[in-house]
Chain A
């Protein structure tokens, strides 16, 4: 239409502004769409590509395969797994162990039980072990041994061994092997799956198919291909397939997950009764499900931000549209007067809006692609490996075009709605309508908030309408209501200002207060400011919540979960590697009394050295309490001192007893190292006949201290009560040591029948040969032979019930409060505990029914009952130094290392979660940009419409400076309170919705619960930028317009 093009030429700045706003809105929508489509897809690929092998491997366990079937079972298993994981390339590794077979009697002498051995076949032996002597197996029949087995059996390379009949199985021909080498197993290479866990031998081993215990030796390690041809019956075989997921896509992954879910049946069908048992284990489906959950959680938040961006753009457009129709009011009136129908007006508006939408979409598609690609080059997306080149995808085009069309529709509606006349009645009706709209917004916002507030903690991770719309709704309602407060406030200010003497100030205030046209601009400014401040605060709140979740999940700065039992001195090594505060930690399921927890959700027991709780424990505590405060209520009043035992020094034990046949004690000692790790050491059976026995060197490291001794007394023959006295001599540790200092040695008789050992005593004294521990008691030797008669001497008194802190969920589910006494099971021993405090959550057990105790106290409570084993599952390290601490700790091969920092990085910058901070990074500048654009547009139009008025002010004798002051004052008078109100709305929204919007990676409510954070410096900076930007924009526009305000404007009638 000619009118449209002519008008476009005449009013190009206005049209450019409209185009700009629509383009910004559509670009935000397009970019968010790319984040939830392209980036999310890529994130899934990166996440699975980065997943630990254990998270994606598929392992097939088969049990008891007859010798003749082993080659076909091995091959078929591999085929089935590989086809299950198609189209991904697969690398398989397999291992198999035979059932036990008889060892030649000559090899393992001096035992009455039969000696048996097994063969293990591995197809990647050199990757799992290192050669000590000899060579790797090369020919059929070649075998290598672990150092321990070789030593025990006295086998060296070159020896031939015949492995005879299979234990409890059909007769099979013997197998001859040639020992060609000795190897040492490498840590963390799957040796935990060895039947004897690389111990090399096990006395009294029961293999499940034979009633009597045997002495088991092995493995004899051969090549797997060799093993399956020997005809030996395979006890267990496992085939692990590792799919290469570095080039994956959603569709293939879903196919594979389905296949994995059904592989059990296929395998059973394929293997038939060639195997007794076939089982498939894979974390892959769970890994993908959790990845999908994370994707949905992120998408929900990103979409909420996109909606907010859309609402912002629409508000900006309403402003721009109103200004346009205002400027065109005369033209429209003229056209109406000339007989243009409503439909013709609509047609013109549609053509123009369509043009704007088309151009905006054409601009926004490449712009959103470029912006998205740019975002992926910034943290956190670049760190998550999601960097991409700009590209256009279908969903993005759809979102951009759809968004542009919706925004264009806003323009059309504004253009064809009847121009409001200035009559009072109309204004009142309009005001009423606006009140109604505000009220509706408020009601919707409140409903949205309630929906969010009341959503179940385990709500689905999928985006739902409420979570998507709530932030935009709340912010819009807040901004609209805030305007309702700002306008009366301005009117009040106006009344006050008119008391001033000069003109500039009251005129500025009057201009600000009495021009309701500023409402649309005010709404945009308020909403954009609210959105910007909310965006920043939500970002901070989200980050803080992720940090809180990571801290609580790991529970400490660095947690090393032990793969094997720790030995004395490990702590010192770890301490040297990490330069942090090291404590052994207990972190396992427990039973509270008889209660094992609800299904699959056992209560957890966590115990560390709580005297250093502040350094060790992490996770947010509320009410201004720190872990130091909690630790203080749990920690024992004094440290255990004990007797220093020099490294490698032999301890000497002697004892006497009345009677002819001396009873026997099998001493158990408990030693403690500097990090608080306690290790038990069992001596040989010592007859109490006055002779001195040297105990094996229990002190395997420096700085150990003896803290407890248990002496179970047994006798072959029964009898009456007998007085026994046992002396344990510890060699002197050094001149500086005063052995008796500080230790409160206590003797008790251990349960379950303490009465069988009466009057236990213990006395410590220093002698020239060392420190002696004299223990005595009267033992009742009558009754059952292995009934307990254990004298326990400890360097500490009975601690009584162990003080514990319980999680809030524990308190509510078990129904306890501070002061409650109950018992928790450690291993199989129940330990009495007393609840001293309820904490929101126990470190490393977020959201669980959990108990926190002091490990030392817990160990003491067990020791006084004669249980000298030290329950430990992990090392916890507080304040590890330097970034390499985790790598150095991992390199010790003590177990798996998790750090708070890495968990935080994963929760913040993980590929599937990083989309949210990226989107927030987008909305804040977009809000600022739309705000500034709106301000410029509003001020320009306002001044253009009032050019004559400005000149008249000059005619009244007001200087240009004075006029500038009035105009600046007027706009500042509106902008400042609206910006302040917007910030207040942002802050309020942060308080009430931000915590509800943050979900954990599973989509459930995060633990600990999210707390709203208002980052003052960032918010102040944003407000300063917005304010400075607004004022600069206003100042520039005002200055230009005032300079232009010359006599020309007076010539033409307005």
Chain B
């Protein structure tokens, strides 16, 4: 673990106003994530996990506070800067897989490479490699609708890794998978952390996932409630 954290979140607030009611989705959240670690973000539904990940990835802006990714102040970036950040440093794995339906598995994995305008031969090589890595080389030409949920999520992880990001944000990647499939996906993520040296922040309420994480951050009604890294997992009263 280097001294400079890969991700640094300081005093982030995010409020949502719907009519007269105001929801404090994030209420002064601060934490750091060291490079090359895998951190689990745990909290029950509606606790603010998705909001936090969106703010970190720049898809949403905080009302107050800062987010630094690899030293870059995400909250200070403009629209183009954010797009570049997501192309080069941060990538997403969505809860609902989030593959582009009209593209095949290989084409989905190639999408970030295309955005980075990687040369076609290099691109094809890397796509092949990544599909190999996730064990779906045989399904390269299938469309998302023709893949199982677990396969889709693996393709999504391969896509997230394609552009060699430094930080991978995964929002409940196993939320829609059965336990067994979820496990294989998580094992894949863990393996990637080991092999590629990517920093992973994954929101989950899965006990196994927490066990695989280097560290667990608990979130409750927009507040952090951190557990020590490497500490054995103890189920929180509000976890489902």
- Chain A contact residues, CB within 8 Å of chain B: 422, 498-499, 501-503, 506-507, 510-511, 514-515, 948-949, 951-960, 962, 1046-1047, 1050-1051, 1053-1054
The distance from the CB of B123 to the nearest CB of chain A, in whole angstroms, is 8
What is the distance, in angstroms, from B96's C-beta to the closest C-beta of chain A?
5
A500: nearest residue on chain B (CB-CB)?
B114
Interface residues on B, range: 35 or more
User: Measured between alpha carbons, how far is A337 from B130 in the docked complex, in Å?
Assistant: 40
B170 to chain A, nearest CB (A): 11
Shortest C-beta distance, B50 to chain A (Å), equals 5
Q: Which residues of A contact B84 (CB under 8 A)?
A: 957
Q: Which residues of B contact A (CB under 8 A)?
A: 50-51, 54, 57, 59-60, 79-80, 83-88, 91-92, 94-96, 98, 100-103, 107, 111-112, 114-115, 117-120, 145, 159, 163, 171, 176
A955–B98 CB distance below 8 A = yes
B117 near A1050 (CB under 8 angstroms)? no
Residues of B within 8 A of A515 (CB): 102
Are A498 and B107 in contact (CB-based, < 8 A)? yes
Pairs A–B under 8 Å by Cβ, sample size 25: A422-B145, A498-B107, A501-B118, A501-B120, A502-B117, A503-B115, A952-B100, A954-B59, A954-B83, A954-B86, A955-B92, A955-B94, A956-B87, A956-B91, A956-B92, A956-B112, A957-B88, A957-B163, A959-B80, A960-B79, A962-B83, A962-B115, A1050-B94, A1051-B51, A1054-B96
Chain B contacts of A948 at CB under 8 A?
Answer: 96, 98
B107 contacts across to A, CB distance below 8 A: 498, 510
Q: Is the CB of B83 within 8 A of A502?
A: no
Contacts of B111 in A (CB 8 A): 503, 507, 956
Name the A residues within 8 Å of B119 (CB-CB): 501
**A1028: shortest Cβ distance to chain B, in Å?**
27
A-B contact count (CB 8 A): 90
In the complex the two chains form, what is the Cα distance from A276 to B87 in whole Å? 110
Q: A1051 and B117: CB pair below 8 A?
A: no
Q: Are B103 and A510 in touch, CB under 8 angstroms?
A: yes
Q: Chain B nearest CB: distance from A468 CB in Å?
A: 42
Cβ contact within 8 Å between B114 and A503: yes
Give the 8 A-B residue pairs with the shortest CB-CB distance, closest first: A957-B87, A957-B86, A503-B114, A1047-B54, A1047-B60, A959-B83, A955-B92, A514-B102
- Picked from B51, B85, B98, B145, the residue with its CB within 8 Å of the CB of A952 is B98
Residues of B within 8 A of A953 (CB): 100
* Distance to closest chain B CB from A125 (angstroms): 92
Given A498-B107, A959-B83, A1053-B95: A951 touches B59 (CB 8 Å cut-off): yes
- A958, B117: Cβ atoms closer than 8 Å: no
Q: Are B79 and A949 in contact (CB under 8 A)?
A: no
Q: How far is the CB of A516 from chain B (nearest CB, A)?
A: 11
A955 proximity list for chain B (CB < 8 A): 57, 59, 86, 92, 94, 98
Whole-angstrom distance between the Cβ of B11 and the nearest chain A Cβ: 20
**13 extra interchain contacts, Cβ-Cβ under 8 A, other than A954-B59, A954-B83, A1050-B95?**
A501-B118, A507-B102, A514-B102, A948-B96, A949-B100, A951-B59, A956-B159, A957-B163, A962-B83, A1046-B59, A1047-B59, A1047-B60, A1050-B59
Q: What residues of B have a CB within 8 angstroms of the CB of A511 in the complex? A: 102
Which of B50, B59, B87, B118 has the most chain A CB atoms closer than 10 A to its own CB?
Answer: B59
For B100, B118, B159, which residue has the most chain A Cβ atoms within 10 angstroms?
A: B100
Q: What's the nearest-Cβ distance from chain B to residue A916, in Å?
A: 46
Contact between B83 and A958 (Cβ–Cβ < 8 Å)?
yes
Q: Which residues of A contact B92 (CB under 8 A)?
A: 952, 955-956
From known contacts A501-B120, A957-B112, A960-B79, infer whether A1053 and B96 are also in contact, taking CB-CB under 8 Å: yes
User: What is the distance, in angstroms, from A127's C-beta to the closest C-beta of chain B?
Assistant: 85
Complex: A502 Cα to B50 Cα, angstroms: 30
Q: Which residue of chain A lies nearest to B86 when distances are taken between CB atoms in the complex?
A: A957
B residues less than 8 Å from A958 (CB atoms): 83, 115
Let me know if A949 and B59 touch, CB within 8 A: no
Bound Cα distance A422, B103 (Å): 16
- List residues of chain B with CB within 8 A of the CB of A949: 98, 100-101
Given known contacts A1047-B59, A1050-B94, A1050-B171, is B50 in contact with A956 (CB within 8 Å)?
no
- With a CB–CB cut-off of 8 A, which chain B residues contact A1046? 59-60
- A956 near B60 with CB under 8 A, answer no
Q: Are the CB atoms of A959 and B112 closer together than 8 Å?
A: no
Determine the chain A residues whose CB is within 8 A of the CB of B102 once the complex forms.
Answer: 507, 510-511, 514-515
